């Protein structure tokens, strides 16, 4: 299966004769299984029609910064969050200059500022324009900002000149994109993720638990895998099938989960605590099924505290980046900030679990990312899309 299968690619096309090759590029990306959204500058539409690219990509083409049809009119933000990768092909001298200056005066440049996804450019222009010192200075600026530059190739040009300035062929660009996902943002890293609920036994047939379905944690495991990580998923009981190619460790209680985490802690570059771990467990587990007492008698359970797995991992494995969730019902950000400090972690992902559309056992979630640097709130997203965003954000954390 192609590495591009199901990857969200934004192909941004700027004005230049090489724009005609972008149609073939879209066709090849779709054939490789990618989901493609096309963004065009007004210059690009002089060379190739949006209709051609709409037909090939299967999606409307995005041309304008302000889009009244997009949620909150901010199409660039939606696209920026949707993307796994942004490729500008062809990238004209003008686009390179505007990117180097950090301009945000059209959809393409604004999108590049707003996205967390890698941005790649495939320059195409007249050979003299490419050699010009201004373009070469802009190139250095873009490289310094981790924008990847692929090409240009040398050869005969549409204007009759010969030299460097031809856009790479569509098939070469597809290979470049494939290679991006060969490595992934977490290539070479081991990510340990806890997921699901824990069950704290009262007797052989009863337990204390919660409504966690594991959906958020399993989606994170898939997203980390997609970014090239070695993933260890430690999960309480759920009805889900673990993603392919992750190491799966099934557990029941919080104590089991802690032991499983400690066993793999040395390997962890990143530890993400998504599980809804029971804070308390019965002080005594009855060996036999508890019997009903006299009609009017209640039953008093004595509970003892479970260890905090996230805080323990953060203390025992200082090398690892540690990320926790905060399931809150009020004062969400304040409580998340307290947890960030108390558990000594790099990020807390706060969700409002009093809202039944999100949080426990829902398909969607809406979270705020709380770090020492501030708070970023994300919109309501499916847990799968959200997991992609979270893994992008987590891959940028450092200690």
Q: For 131, list phi and psi in degrees, rounded to 5.
A: -75, -20
CA distances from 5 to 33, 70, 82, 389, 392 (A): 4, 26, 15, 18, 18
Stretch that binds ligand PMT, among 138-146, 179-187, 200-208, 275-283 (CB under 6 A): 275-283
Tokens 């889900």 label which residue?
A: 240
Nearest to 219, CA basis, from 269, 181, 274: 274
What is the distance of C-alpha 64 from the center of its chain?
25
What would the two tokens of residue 138 be?
């802009």
Q: Is 182 in the site for ligand PMT (CB under 6 A)?
A: no
Q: Return all residues near 210 (Cβ < 8 A) that are at least 6 apart.
A: 197, 276, 278, 360
Q: Is 192 in the site for ligand PMT (CB under 6 A)?
A: no
Nearest to 242, CA basis, from 227, 255, 224: 224
Q: Is 213 in the site for ligand PMT (CB under 6 A)?
A: yes
Stretch that binds ligand PMT, among 23-31, 60-68, 89-97, 206-214 (CB under 6 A): 206-214
Q: Is 120 in the site for ligand PMT (CB under 6 A)?
A: no
Stretch that binds ligand PMT, among 28-36, 141-149, 156-164, 322-330 (CB under 6 A): 322-330
Question: Own/partner pairs for 287-292, CB < 8 Å, 24+ apart?
Answer: 287/203, 287/204, 288/203, 288/204, 289/203, 289/204, 289/205, 289/206, 290/202, 290/203, 290/206
Q: Is 254 in the site for ligand PMT (CB under 6 A)?
A: yes
**Which listed residue (15, 173, 324, 337) binds ligand PMT by CB under 6 A?**
324
In whole angstroms, how close is the CB of 173 to ligand PMT at the nearest point?
37
Could you give the maximum distance between any two Cα atoms of the chain, in Å?
A: 98
C-alpha 266/C-alpha 12 separation (Å) is 42
Q: Is 326 in the site for ligand PMT (CB under 6 A)?
A: yes
CA distances from 268 to 193, 197, 235, 309 (A): 10, 21, 16, 14
- Classify strands 280-282 and 270-273 as parallel, antiparallel or unpaired: unpaired
Q: Is 308 in the site for ligand PMT (CB under 6 A)?
A: yes
**Which listed residue (214, 228, 236, 243) binds ligand PMT by CB under 6 A?**
214
CA distances from 191 to 57, 227, 348 (A): 34, 11, 16
In whole angstroms, how close is the CB of 188 to ligand PMT at the nearest point?
25
**Which listed residue (147, 270, 309, 369) binds ligand PMT by CB under 6 A?**
309
Q: Is 112 in the site for ligand PMT (CB under 6 A)?
A: no
Q: Which is nearer to ligand PMT, 171 or 329 (CB)?
A: 329
- Classify strands 119-123 and 85-91 as parallel, antiparallel or unpaired: parallel
Report which secondary-structure segment, H or E, holds 374.
strand 374-377
Q: Is 199 in the site for ligand PMT (CB under 6 A)?
A: no
**Which listed residue (116, 361, 371, 382) binds ligand PMT by CB under 6 A?**
361
Q: Give yes or no: 159 in active site.
A: yes
Q: Is 359 in the site for ligand PMT (CB under 6 A)?
A: yes
In whole angstroms, how close is the CB of 50 to ligand PMT at the nearest point?
39
Q: Which is nearer to ligand PMT, 14 or 351 (CB)?
A: 351
**Catalytic residue (one of 66, 134, 159, 301):** 159
Q: Which is nearer to ligand PMT, 26 or 234 (CB)?
A: 234
Beta bridge partners of 125: none
Q: Is 277 in the site for ligand PMT (CB under 6 A)?
A: yes
In whole angstroms, how close is the CB of 307 to ligand PMT at the nearest point?
6
Q: Which is nearer to ligand PMT, 130 or 325 (CB)?
A: 325
Q: Which is nearer to ligand PMT, 119 or 273 (CB)?
A: 273
Q: Is 233 in the site for ligand PMT (CB under 6 A)?
A: no
Say how many C-beta atoms besides its own lie within 10 A of residue 150's C-beta.
19
Would you list the DSSP string of 102-121?
T--SSHHHHHHHH--S-EEE
C-alpha 315/C-alpha 198 separation (Å) is 22
Q: Is 216 in the site for ligand PMT (CB under 6 A)?
A: yes
Catalytic residues: 159
Contacts with ligand PMT, residue ranges (CB under 6 A): 194, 196, 212-217, 254, 273-277, 279, 306, 308-310, 324-327, 339, 351, 353, 359-361
């Amino acid at each position: 299966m192609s590495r591009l299968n199901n990857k969200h690619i934004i192909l941004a096309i700027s004005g230049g004769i090489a724009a005609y090759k972008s149609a073939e590029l879209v066709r090849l990306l779709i054939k490789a299984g990618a989901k493609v959204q096309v963004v065009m500058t007004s210059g690009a539409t002089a060379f190739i029609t949006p209709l051609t690219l709409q037909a090939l990509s299967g999606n409307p083409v995005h041309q304008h910064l302000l889009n009244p049809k997009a949620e909150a009119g901010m199409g660039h933000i939606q696209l920026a969050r949707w993307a796994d990768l942004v490729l500008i092909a062809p990238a004209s001298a003008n686009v390179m200059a505007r990117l180097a200056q950090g301009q945000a005066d059209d959809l393409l440049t604004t999108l590049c500022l707003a996205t967390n996804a890698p941005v790649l450019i495939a320059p195409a222009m007249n050979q003299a324009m490419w050699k010009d010192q201004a373009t070469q200075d802009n190139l250095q600026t873009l490289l310094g900002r981790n924008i990847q530059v692929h090409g240009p190739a040398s050869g005969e040009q549409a204007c009759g000149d010969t030299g460097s300035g031809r856009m790479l062929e569509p098939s070469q660009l597809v290979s470049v994109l494939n290679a991006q996902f060969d490595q992934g943002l977490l290539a070479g890293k081991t990510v340990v993720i806890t997921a699901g609920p824990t069950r704290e036994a009262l007797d052989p047939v009863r337990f204390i638990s919660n409504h966690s379905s594991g959906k958020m944690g399993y989606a994170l495991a898939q997203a980390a895998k997609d970014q090239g990580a070695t993933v260890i998923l430690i999960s309480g009981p759920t009805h889900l099938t673990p993603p392919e190619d992750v190491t799966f460790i099934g557990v029941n209680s919080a104590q089991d989960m802690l032991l499983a985490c400690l066993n793999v802690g040395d390997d962890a570059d990143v530890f993400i605590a998504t599980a809804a771990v029971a804070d308390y467990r019965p002080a005594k587990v009855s060996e036999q099924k508890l019997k009903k007492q006299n009609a009017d008698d209640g039953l008093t359970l004595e509970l003892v505290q479970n260890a905090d797995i996230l805080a323990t991992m953060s203390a025992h494995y200082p090398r690892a980046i540690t990320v926790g969730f905060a399931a809150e019902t009020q004062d969400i950000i304040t409580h998340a900030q307290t947890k960030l400090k108390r558990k000594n972690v790099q990020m807390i992902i706060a969700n409002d679990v009093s809202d039944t559309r999100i949080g426990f056992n829902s398909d969607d979630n809406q979270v705020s990312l709380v770090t020492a640097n501030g708070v970023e709130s994300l919109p309501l997203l499916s847990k799968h899309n959200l997991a992609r965003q979270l893994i992008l954000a987590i891959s940028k954390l450092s200690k």
